Amino acid sequence: MNLDEQLEQLIEQTIQGATATIPAHLEEIEQNKEVLKVNDPKEFVFGLIMGMGLGMASALMTTITNQIPTVEDQIKVRDMIYKKIPHIREQIFK
């Protein structure tokens, strides 16, 4: 399996796992609203999921290539994750 296939698989697994925890994240935000001071919990969770995907993919790339991802690598990862935005938003805002 090449790097792009590994990235796609990891991104898919990360997004699936993260979207499964949406209700828990929203509940946690509600319970801690005084501390977190979040104006829009659903947008906050969207950012959290996007960050998880970007972070995991970058970590995998760093581990496999044994170097920090280049700007081009980061753009490739970003584009892979951006394809998932409609699905992520659908899961959050349904």
pLDDT digits (tens, 9 = 90+) for 22-79: 999 999 999 999 999 999 999 999 999 999 999 998 998 899 889 999 999 999 999 9
Which residue spans within 1-94 are E strands per DSSP? Answer: none
Check: CB of residue 13 under 8 Å from CB of residue 51: no
Maximum Cα–Cα distance across the chain: 46
Confidence tier at 2 by pLDDT (50, 70, 90): confident
Work out the number of other CB atoms within 10 angstroms of the CB of residue 50.
Answer: 18
Q: Can you give the pTM of this predicted structure? A: 0.88
Is there a contact between 55 and 21 (Cβ–Cβ < 8 Å)? no
